[in-house]
């Protein structure tokens, strides 16, 4: 019997449910975990205010046909005396890792714990968190955990905004402008399709579009190797264009693979 695990922090949306659907198609039994992991939040981040829609989440998962929902307490995941941290070096030094110190240690550690508890044959993560996906794949391979890491596609709103639990934080004005992220990424794909290969010109065009939105503040916008997360200087093989943009206090991430 194949067991599938979909780790989440709750506040479930269609993006999460697409991962559940993927897991249901690949496994005989599917477990969804709901755990807001404190170790992946840095000082001043939104741990205390992270959306809590637990009852609605359970209803969605029941309707989706999930076999088990695991919602542990912090003490169950990190019992008294817990002193282990999983560090995946290299992959965690760019993009989000550059601005969220310790974030990926928290992610990889909690996933290692969840894998140990659930003993899944497969675990499903979304491509929106591309760096996280790469980190978990590396960790699972390096530690010989015997877990296949599967990736679900980015699910978007009608205007292109990538679905995220943090979209709930956006004011109406911020939400109206947030679609510029997808417009920028789409412009990059269009430029590459037309033959553009110069990284600086691609990134400049994307930034120009995003910064048309008065409420947008770009934290990073980089073209990187999708396997190493290191910056590329010339677009000769498929590369990941990743962005993080603030709208007010809300930080949104998104990405697209550019294929020359």
Q: Is the pTM of this model over 0.85?
A: yes
Q: Where in the chain are all domains bearing CATH 3.30.1300.10?
A: 165-258
CA of residue 58 relative to chain centroid, distance:
21
pLDDT values of the chain reduced to their tens digit, one per residue, 260 residues: 999 999 999 999 999 999 999 999 999 999 999 999 999 999 989 999 999 999 999 999 999 999 999 999 999 999 999 999 999 999 999 999 999 999 999 999 999 999 999 999 999 999 999 999 999 999 999 999 999 999 999 999 999 999 999 999 999 999 999 999 999 999 999 999 999 999 999 999 999 999 999 999 999 999 999 999 999 999 999 999 999 999 999 999 999 999 99
The pLDDT score that the predictor gives to residue 50 is 95
From the candidates 13, 16, 103, 150, give the one annotated as an active-site residue: 16
254: exposed, middle or buried (Cβ count in 10 Å: 0-12, 13-18, 19+): buried
Q: For the beta carbon of residue 192, count every other beta carbon within 10 angstroms.
A: 19
Residues of the chain with CATH 3.40.50.620: 3-152
Q: For domain 165-258, give its CATH number from 3.30.1300.10, 3.40.50.620, 3.20.20.70, 3.40.50.2300.
A: 3.30.1300.10
Query: Which pLDDT value is given to residue 100?
Result: 97
Q: How far is CA 222 from the centre of its chain?
A: 16
Q: Please tell us whether the domain made up of 3-152 is placed in CATH 3.40.50.620.
A: yes
The predicted pLDDT at position 75 comes to: 98
Q: Is 16 a catalytic residue?
A: yes
- Say what the pLDDT of residue 108 is: 98
């Amino acid at each position: 019997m194949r067991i599938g695990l979909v780790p989440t922090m709750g506040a479930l949306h269609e993006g999460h449910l697409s991962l559940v659907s993927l897991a249901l198609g690949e496994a005989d039994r599917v477990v969804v975990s709901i755990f807001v992991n404190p170790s992946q939040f840095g000082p001043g981040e939104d741990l205390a205010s992270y959306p809590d829609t637990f009852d609605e989440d359970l209803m969605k998962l029941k309707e989706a046909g999930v076999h088990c929902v695991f919602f542990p307490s912090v003490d169950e995941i990190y019992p008294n005396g817990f002193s282990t941290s999983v560090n995946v070096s290299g992959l965690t030094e760019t993009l989000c890792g550059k601005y969220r110190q310790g974030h990926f240690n928290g992610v990889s550690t909690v996933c290692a714990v969840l894998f140990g508890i659930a003993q899944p044959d497969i675990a499903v993560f979304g491509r929106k968190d591309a760096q996280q996906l790469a980190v978990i794949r590396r960790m699972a391979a390096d530690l010989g955990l015997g877990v296949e890491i599967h990736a679900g596609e980015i699910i978007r709103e009608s205007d292109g905004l990538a679905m995220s639990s943090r979209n709930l934080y956006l004011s109406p004005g911020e939400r109206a402008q947030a679609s510029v992220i997808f417009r920028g990424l789409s412009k990059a794909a269009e430029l590459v399709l037309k033959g553009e290969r110069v990284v600086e010109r691609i990134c400049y065009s994307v930034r120009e579009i995003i910064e048309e939105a008065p409420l947008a503040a770009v934290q990073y916008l980089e073209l990187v190797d999708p396997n190493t997360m290191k910056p590329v200087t010339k677009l000769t093989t498929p590369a990941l264009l990743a962005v993080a943009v603030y709208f007010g206090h809300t930080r949104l991430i998104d990405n697209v693979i550019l294929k020359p």
